Amino acid sequence: MAPLPDGFSYAEWNATYNGLSFGIAAMGSATIFFWLQLPNVTKSYRTALTITGIVTLIATYHYIRIFNSWSEAFTVASKDGGDYHVKLTGAPFNDGYRYVDWLLTVPLLLIELILVMKLPQQETVSLSWKLGLASALMVALGYPGEIQEDLSVRWFWWCLSMIPFCYVVFTLAVGLAESTSKQPSPAAASLVSAARYLTVLSWCTYPFVYMVKSVGLAGPAATMYEQVGYSIADVMAKAVFGVLIWAIAAEKSAVEESGKLLPN
């Protein structure tokens, strides 16, 4: 983990504090919602929705750990009722929790999308392995650069991690287009498209947040932008994406149930 810079203003500390708190609330409430919806979808889609809840549960745990680590790294006090002053305690801020979270959840995010699309079994297994391994490799290659202060080293690992990143994004944006058109209803196809493109859009924010420190921005402001940026991107990629997975499962369940009710 890279050491925290000194000199945080109260506004910078508080923005990060609130961003991490927002992540806990969003992920935790999403987990409860997804699992409460399990009885409302058919058996075919319960695995996908269960995984969706597991993703946000894992994220909730890691956001709590990051939040606690952030709180323990600082003391915030007001002198004589005046402005708040922020000082480092010397305790390390363990941002490695974020990469552990991504390593566990990013492959699951892609697998839940593939499962809810209900592709042929061979295609489901093949895509799950390919996208799961590529996304895990992307995260693993990004971490060594994240903990470096040498800009050339950061850029080296950024470039390496972008190789599997581009493969995953291309597969989502282009490779799954034909399968999307084969969904059982226009509404389901539209929701699957929305989930694919939300994933692409939210994922594209991560390289830019990663680049905050790579372009030379340093100090407390860089740390604040990084932590808040990652928190917003995570909520979009997991909680909001999960709502779309639930909507797809609910729509396809309704289509399947209505088909069973039709007279032969």
The 10s digit of each residue's pLDDT in 106-126 is 999 999 999 998 888 999 999
Q: Are 99 and 142 in contact (CB under 8 A)?
A: yes
The 10s digit of each residue's pLDDT in 161-172 is 999 999 999 998
The two three-digit tokens of residue 117, written as one number: 């699309």
Q: Is 7 helix (H, G, I), strand (E, B) or coil?
A: coil
Sign of CA dihedral 183, 187, 188, 194: positive
Q: Is 4 helix (H, G, I), strand (E, B) or coil?
A: coil
DSSP category for residue 95: T
Whole-angstrom Cα distance, residue 120 to residue 61? 34
Determine the pLDDT at residue 5.
87
User: Rounded to two decimals, what is the model's pTM?
Assistant: 0.92
Determine the pLDDT at residue 263.
47
Q: What is the mean pLDDT of residues 186-190?
A: 89
Does domain 10-254 fall under CATH 1.20.1070.10? My reply is yes
Q: What is the mean pLDDT of residues 88-102?
A: 93
Determine the pLDDT at residue 111.
94
User: pLDDT class for 1, splitting at 50, 70, 90?
Assistant: low
Residue 17's H or E segment, with its range, is helix 10-36
Backbone φ, ψ for residue 84 (5° rounding): -80, 140
* Amino acid sitting at position 76: V
Whole-angstrom Cα distance, residue 58 to residue 251? 26
Q: What is the mean pLDDT of residues 240-257?
A: 92
Tell me the percentage of the chain whose pLDDT exceeds 70. 97
